Amino acid sequence: MRYIFGPVFSRRLGLSLGVDLVPHKICSMDCLYCEVGPTTEKTVERAEYVPLSGVKAELDEFLAFKPELDFITFSGYGEPTLHSGLGELVRYLKENYPDYRLALLTNATLLYRDDVIEDVKGIDVVLPSLDAATQPTFEKLNRPVKGLMVDDVIASIGRLIKECDCQTWVETLFVKGINDSPEEVEKLGEVIHALKPHKWQLNTVARPPAYGVEGLSYEELKGIADRVGYPNTEIVARGGVKRRKLPLPDLKEEIYNLVVRRPCPLEEISDALGVSPEEVERAVEELKREGRVKELLFGGEPYVKGLSG
């Protein structure tokens, strides 16, 4: 399928069916750590980047089997709120598949807009990113569209929390030597305490990044959490489930559809797709022979990356 992928096991959302609403890689920022790769088109213009009818058709086909899911999640190649039909799709899912909870992964750069706020009001959990509290760090780490101010992003998250009934889980992804200084952490902590999100989730570089940056250790993240002292803080960690056995051709397609969007280690693929590591390794070897994936090292661990085209 072109517009949906998974279900995958998300460290934050459990078993999640992903929905891609923009092509690779249209976004309002070009974050150094992005697992999808460098941004190819940086914009804040909303448009129907992929046909809404095609997204609905794929969702109808998949959800007809009534799969067990924790969430249907708008995420993928770029910034989902750039799609002008997001609100229509949210309403469609709520009207036709009310048993499923919806989640949105967003960089929060468009939440200042009235139409975007209206679009997200039907979503159960919104997970906005906030990696910096000062403009120089914001520009260095997130590399936003020219003129975008971090104070506006912070205000937009505040508006989301105030005006929407959704759960708001703010994620901060820490990058060594960029946003982990005592001064930046102190300012971030002040912002988080002022915003009062339902959760503050601490993350770091865990997959091969778009540019050469490094992550923090768990102990360093724990130190940041302790210094800030926000009561609803969560350090994101990997987890997994085992749930099914797939024929090899089907498993190969599911692995490819996962790793073409983001590189993953074998263990994470196994957790995401609910199959044994041995089956994943066999499928990956075939995909490598077919020239559809390659392996690369990150942090001393092999990752599988899908080759598009």
Mean pLDDT by 10 residues, the chain (309 residues): 83 87 93 92 95 96 92 92 97 96 96 95 96 97 96 96 95 96 97 97 89 90 95 72 70 88 83 79 91 85 84
What are the structure tokens assigned to 122, written together?
A: 């039907």
Q: 113-140: b or e for each residue (b if 16 or more CB lie within 10 Å)?
A: eeebbebbbbbbbbbbbbbbbbeebbbe
- For residue 266, give Cα distances in angstroms to 4, 259, 269, 281, 298: 21, 10, 5, 7, 13
Provide the total of helices (H) and of strands (E) in the chain, helices listed first: 10, 13
Q: How far is CA 177 from CA 131, 141, 185, 189, 193, in A?
A: 13, 10, 12, 18, 23
Let me know how long the chain is. Answer: 309
What is the pTM (predicted TM-score) of this model? 0.79
Cα distance between residue 103 and residue 74, in whole Å: 6
Q: What are 80's two structure tokens?
A: 């989902």
The DSSP symbol for 99 reads T
